[in-house]
Structure 1
Amino acid sequence: MSLKKASLIIVIILLVDQISKIYIKTHFQLGEDVTVFSWFKIAFVENDGMAWGTKLSDFISFISDETAKLILTLFRIVAVTGIAFWLLDVIRKEKSKILVFAISIIFAGALGNIIDSVFYGVLFDDSIMQVASFLPEEGGYAKLFHGNVVDMLHFPIWSGVVPDRLPLIGGKYFSFFDPVFNVADMAISTGIGILIVFNKKAFGDISKIETPHLESHNNLA
């Protein structure tokens, strides 16, 4: 796959991701949700930490939430820079289309969430008990590099009390699927899933690459 095609994929994902986030941010109050189907809701939440809302300060108690947020954002920038170099390298080496596609959507997803973390605190005011404004006159809700990631996709596929006959969780209330995520998260998860499921097609079968070398060695012996 060429750099042009990979760039097009990245731009499309970024546009869908950012348009959906900006729409939610400027039309929903924080915590507001709309039921589309019984198993799908648009629910506006903001994530100021890592996956599932985990914060770096939860693990490192001696740093403040603000410092932890800055460290996390800077780490994301370093990580996405590394992914960008990886993508350029596999394109230059003409690796498999599956590998280029997977890295492209992972990069697009990571970049999409970085845009939130870096700029949204400056571009929008708070969403608590109000619909946020774009470029508010009084300034945004946070400093540069301290923004929150906007999530809105919620799939409460099933919830209820688990039958008593099931061990450990029997008789308890259970909900699947609770996490709320965004288009960028979907791109990252899909890309990682492709690399796991289609590992051999993406990276090539190492055993087949090494076989000719082994056979020639055996013939010389």
Structure 2
Amino acid sequence: MKGFTKPLILIFVTLLLDQVLKFWIKLNMTLGQEFHIIKDRVIIHFTENNGMAFGLELGGEMGKLALSLFRIIAIIAIAYGLYYMIRHKYHRGLILNVSLIFAGAVGNIIDSVFYGVIFSESTWYTKAELFPEGGGYSSLLHGKVVDMFYFPIINGNFPTWLPLWGGQDFIFFRPVFNLADTAISVGVILILLGQKRYFKEDVPTVSNLNNEIVED
């Protein structure tokens, strides 16, 4: 278990926080309900999506099924890659960042696989119930992903001279997302920022070159 402890703890804590928050949102808020934490800039806004991170979607039931199956395959691949990196003693920072990505991916696939079965439908007027008598709002692999973080930090309008979007409303940051999305994004960003440390290549030294010449 040496080398596995910290990644497993990080994965467990991330998943626990993600699912506790989603359960609370589903059971205590109606669809579209929101709480303003810092005026109109930091908002808890309950919404659901059928697709990918930050509200992106694939159309129809088949698109939803295909996405869920793709997520499961991706999780298996990431899990194997993480196991391989730990066993071969890759950079600790890289392992922890991949652990974040893995936890985020698992967090959202839990919604997709199980939420349609264990929860009733969330509506604009009613809160969801856990394990409702009449069954869930959908079938296995067709659940909706719960999102809640909304940070419309900048509000304004595009300049009128701008093609296509001129004069239209502009909001940054518009997508509503969840803790699992955040874990994935943070993991990817940290890997990009630390790639020079994580993926060092052996640079030939003068002594190594001399040795190669002598051997030849």
State the alpha-carbon separation in 1 of the partners of residues 167 and 62 from structure 2. Answer: 42
Report whether the alignment pairs 1:70 with 2:65: yes
State the alpha-carbon separation in 1 of the partners of residues 45 and 152 from structure 2. Answer: 11
Q: Which runs of 4+ in 1 moved over 2 A?
A: 50-57, 161-164, 166-173, 212-221
State the alpha-carbon separation in 1 of the partners of residues 51 and 18 from structure 2. Answer: 18
Q: 1:1-221 maps to which residues of 2 (within 5 A)?
A: 2-38=3-39, 39-57=41-59, 65-128=60-123, 129-162=125-158, 168=163, 171-203=167-199, 205-206=200-201, 209-212=202-205, 214=209, 216-218=211-213, 220=215
Alpha-carbon spacing, 1:103–1:162, altered in 2? closer, same or farther (3 Å): same
Which runs of 5 or more residues in structure 1 are unaligned?
58-64
Alpha-carbon spacing, 1:75–1:214, altered in 2? closer, same or farther (3 Å): farther
Shift of 1:160: 1.7
Q: Give the count of matched residue pairs.
A: 210
Which runs of 5 or more residues in structure 2 are unaligned?
none
SS state at 1:34 partner = strand
State the alpha-carbon separation in 2 of the partners of residues 179 and 145 from structure 1. Answer: 23
TM-score normalised to the size of structure 1?
0.88
State the alpha-carbon separation in 2 of the partners of residues 52 and 10 from structure 1. Answer: 21
Shift of 1:161: 2.7
- Tell me if the contact between 2:157 and 2:169 (Cα under 8 Å) persists in the aligned partners: yes
- Tell me if the contact between 2:55 and 2:177 (Cα under 8 Å) persists in the aligned partners: no
Shift of 1:219: 5.2
How many percent of aligned residue pairs carry the same amino acid?
Answer: 43
- Tell me if the contact between 2:33 and 2:46 (Cα under 8 Å) persists in the aligned partners: yes
Spell out, residue by residue over 1:116-148, the C-alpha distance to the aligned partner (whole angstroms, 9 max, x if none).
Answer: 000000110000121000111111000011000
